[in-house]
A = this chain, B = another copy of it.
């Protein structure tokens, strides 16, 4: 029953197809073990990926041994890796949890590209999603924090979001499958446990279907978010000019603070700074707000946004580019998102390199016939001076193949003759 539901969910959410090669993130805990057994028994081509974070002494090694045994029994290829998580966390000045997360997802992506897998399946389930919503709500959030965990994020997919923790445990018991348990309690796990063991049961006393309701609320809010997101994009078009944000136009919008939030939060400004900037919109010009990398100046009629990065730093691209080649089969799904670019591999017949765009650069924007100046493209799309300075291109020989994050060049497009596809991605 859970098996059928998971299969249907994978199909409904188009997570991957029956022929896909799927890597399953396998910690050895109940959820990931169930995920592997389910996908394997439905008949998907699975391989497993296990990270040993060396955070729990012998327990970490016990987990690795357990996972090895399980994969051997099932005849499933296993990939393992070892991380010095504590060292990485110290070096990067991030929490242990953040470090483990970064290391894990980075390695998954490397594996996926190297072994040409179609997706990385992780074992988040419905309770995780509900707990995340409540955790965000308690810590303070906006609409994004109330969307719950999504079934897909790039190549990371979550087939178990249609199942509850209880169903997963019942399934494992039913198929008599063992799993390991984690004896540590991180700060985050401690809080999640509190939500799981105390808060949710109390909410269920008020309404027994609270988990179902929260899941539905998450799904409604996802739709509201899609409409909100489009509204923000339209509003940006109205308020942004190449020089900065037009304050008069911004104040005509139904929610100026939200629009500023969506523009400035990605640049690292925090909600309290953004509130201050919103309050300053109608006050005297001259106020300046800064963070490590950016400066916002309240000018007379404009809000100016300046980068504080030095010239040197700017010569290194602020992203890494990874690529992957695939044969172009009928079930090939063009990956969505600004971080992706797909080309006909055979058309990329000159050496590839990355550089900043230059005056005089031209390209053929995807879907168009004629050439266009990159400068005109950027102006048409309301890039600020600083944003223009930050624009990179991927070149194939002398031609621009990709105005990175913006538009690919039509001359390298996939067409009916394409046999192999190269997918580029910025990370």
Contact = CB atoms under 8 A, between A and B. Distances in A.
Given A146-B146, A224-B143, A226-B255, A205 B194 contact: yes
A115 interface: no
Contact of A232 (B195, B217, B227, B258): B227
Interface in A212-227: 212-214, 216-217, 220-227
Contacts of A141: 213, 217, 220
A138 interface: yes
Contact of A214 (B137, B202, B220): B137
A142 B223 CA distance: 10
A321 interface: no
Contacts of A205: 194
Given A143-B221, A227-B228, A232-B227, A203 B138 contact: yes
A229 interface: yes
Interface majority SS (helix, strand, loop, mixed), chain A: helix
Given A202-B199, A206-B194, A213 B139 contact: yes
Contact of A213 (B140, B210, B229): B140
Given A203-B138, A205-B194, A228 B217 contact: no
A230 interface: yes
A254 interface: yes
Interface string A127-159: 000000000011111110110000000000000
A185 interface: no
Contacts of A137: 137, 213-214, 217
Interface string A181-209: 00000000001001100110011011101
Contacts of A255: 222-224, 226-227
A257 interface: yes
Nearest to A140: B213
A231 interface: yes
B202 A142 contact: no
A224 B224 contact: yes
A364 to B, nearest CB: 26
A223 B142 CA distance: 10
Given A231-B227, A258-B224, A206 B195 contact: yes
Nearest to A232: B227
Given A138-B210, A207-B138, A258-B227, A143 B220 contact: yes
A142 B199 contact: no
A248 B185 CA distance: 51
Nearest to A212: B140
Interface in A222-258: 222-232, 234-235, 254-255, 257-258
Contacts of A145: 217
Contact of A254 (B214, B229, B257): B229
Given A227-B254, A227-B258, A257-B223, A199 B194 contact: no
Contacts of A214: 137, 140
Contacts of A212: 140
A191 B213 contact: no
Contacts of A140: 207, 209, 212-214, 216-217
Given A138-B206, A140-B217, A227-B255, 13 more contacts: A138-B213, A140-B216, A142-B221, A146-B146, A194-B205, A194-B206, A199-B202, A224-B225, A227-B231, A227-B235, A227-B259, A230-B231, A234-B234
Interface of A: 137-143, 145-146, 191, 194-195, 198-199, 202-203, 205-207, 209-210, 212-214, 216-217, 220-232, 234-235, 254-255, 257-259
Q: Can you list the 9 inter-chain pairs with the closest CB atoms, starting with the nearest? A: A140-B213, A223-B255, A226-B254, A227-B231, A231-B231, A142-B220, A223-B258, A226-B255, A143-B224
